[in-house]
Structure 1
Amino acid sequence: MLTLYHYDRSTAAQRVRLLLDEKGLPWKSVIVDTARGDIDQLPENYHEINPKGLVPTIENKGVGIAESLIILEYLEDAFPETSFRPTSAEDRAKMRLWMRRIDDGIHVASRTIGVCIVNRFIYLEQGAEKIRTYHEKMRDHVRRDNDRVNIEMGLASPLLPDALKRFRALFEDMNTRLEGHDWLAGEAYSLADIALVVYLRRMESFMMAPLWSHLTALNTWYARIAERPAYKTAVIDWGDITEAKRTEHGQGAFPEIAKLWMA
């Protein structure tokens, strides 16, 4: 059986759970919450299967595979009976171009926004010593260096304006595509939709949804996916243990976030 190392609110884990549930694959859950500095709870030898020590990681037949977008492609290759790749080579290329945007800055921008609005408060509650130890052991140095700036400066972080700019451009580009199509690539629900929809939920959880309320096609697409049974089991039912803090700090940050979004 597949084993997934993950935690509730991780966007990367959400997209893997979405594909697992869409394919109807049985899997074992192992919770590894790497988001709060709790590095001591990593399973033994976890870095051997995920060098960065992050989630998600999936194990199958004794082999561990890291990086959520690679996991999506792996699951398509290993379990092709129900496919979420477009049928034509051209549409598959379009699917991968949408997914490429995640590694081209969107995922890093997502963390910047999350830390600046909410997570900095969670880290600060744990004390400077724990934060220092957490960052000393963090193997992703871009993540570490960005965190240090964003935790210290919050909404004044110099990284925040560009992160918001990237998301505004992404959502507007998605809306333009979706004005004439139901899905991002080809004529069917694909890995591109699965990979990107999790960011709508994440930004929504920071109370930011009014910023794209006018993007009708994007919101219709989001609602269409939210109605799928797998979305409920893979995303909604897992919940978010930081929901109250996201609501509180998201509402407090909204005036400044809106100003930066519109700049």
Structure 2
Amino acid sequence: MLTLYHYDRSTAAQRVRLLIEEKGLEWNSVIVDTARGDVDQLPENYHEMNPKGLIPVVENNGVGIAESNVILEYLEDAFRDTSFRPDSPEDRAMMRLWMKRIDDGVHVASRTIGVCIVNRFIYLEQGQEKIEKYHAHMRDLERRDNDQVNISMGLESPLLPGALRTFRGLFEDMNARLVEHDWLAGASYSLADIALVVYLRRMESFMMAPLWSHMIGLTDWYERIAARPAYQKAVVDWGDITADKRTEHGTGAFETIAALWKEAAA
């Protein structure tokens, strides 16, 4: 049986849970909340499975698989009864191009936005000693360096405008595709949709949905995915222990974020 190392609100974990539920797989849950800096909870062999020490990791047949998009492809290869890859080579290439955008800047931008709006307050509440310990164990040096800037500067971070520009560009490109097509790659729901829908959920949780409410293709696509039973089980039912803070700080940040979002169109 699969074992998934994850936590509730992680976008990377959400996409893996979403595919697991779409495929109807049985799995064991191990909560590793790295977002709260709880490095002491990592299993002893965790860095063998994922050298970065991050989640998610899927363990199956004695092997640990890291990196959420790699995990999605692994699950497709390992459990073939249902497929979420398009049929044609051309559509599969399109699927992978959409997914590639995550590693080409979208995921880093997502973390910048989250830390600047909300997570900095969570870290600061835990004290400087725990923050320093967390960063000392962090093996992704770009993540560490970005965090240090974003925690200290918040909405004034020089990294925030670029992150919002990345997200606005992504959402606009997705909307342009989805105005004309039901799904991002080919004629059916695929790994591309599973991989990217979690970022709308994340931004929505920060109270930012009005920024793209006029993007009809994108909003309709999101509503259709959110109505799927697997989405309910994989995302909604897991909840978010930081939900109240996201609502509070997201509401307080909206005016600033909206102004930066508008500037990103220039």
Q: TM range, normalised to the smaller chain?
A: over 0.9
The equivalent of 1:142 in structure 2 is: 142
The equivalent of 1:107 in structure 2 is: 107
Structure 1 residue 143: Cα displacement: 0.3
Structure 1 residue 129: Cα displacement: 1.1
Structure 1 residue 257: Cα displacement: 0.3
Normalised TM-score (structure 2)? 0.98
SS at match of 1:4: strand
SS at match of 1:179: helix
Gaps of 5+ in 1: none
Counterpart AA for 1:17: R
Q: Distance in 2 between matches of 1:207 and 1:70?
A: 30
Mean Cα displacement is larger for which, 39-48 or 214-223? 39-48
The equivalent of 2:96 in structure 1 is: 96
The equivalent of 1:189 in structure 2 is: 189
The equivalent of 1:2 in structure 2 is: 2
Structure 1 residue 240: Cα displacement: 0.2
The equivalent of 1:117 in structure 2 is: 117
The equivalent of 1:243 in structure 2 is: 243
- In the TM superposition, what are the counterparts of 1:101-250 in structure 2 within 5 Å? 101-250=101-250
Q: Distance in 2 between matches of 1:6 and 1:126?
A: 21
Per-residue displacement from partner, 1:200-220 (whole Å, max 9, x unpaired)?
000000010000010011000
Structure 1 residue 41: Cα displacement: 0.8
The equivalent of 2:87 in structure 1 is: 87
Normalised TM-score (structure 1)? 1.00
Counterpart AA for 1:10: S
SS at match of 1:28: strand
Q: Distance in 1 between matches of 2:180 and 2:105?
A: 26
Q: Distance in 2 between matches of 1:80 and 1:45?
A: 29
- In the TM superposition, what are the counterparts of 1:8-23 in structure 2 within 5 Å? 8-23=8-23
Runs of 4+ in 1 over 3 A off after TM superposition: none
Counterpart AA for 1:118: V
SS at match of 2:233: helix
Structure 1 residue 43: Cα displacement: 1.2
Structure 1 residue 191: Cα displacement: 0.1
Structure 1 residue 53: Cα displacement: 0.7
Q: Distance in 2 between matches of 1:63 and 1:212?
A: 40
Per-residue displacement from partner, 1:42-96 (whole Å, max 9, x unpaired)?
1122111111111000000000000000000000011111000000000000000
In the comparison of the two structures, how many residue pairs are matched?
A: 263
Structure 1 residue 133: Cα displacement: 1.1
SS at match of 2:36: coil
Gaps of 5+ in 2: none
Counterpart AA for 2:93: A
The equivalent of 1:259 in structure 2 is: 259
Question: Considering only aligned residues, what root-mean-square deviation do their CA atoms show, in Å?
Answer: 0.4
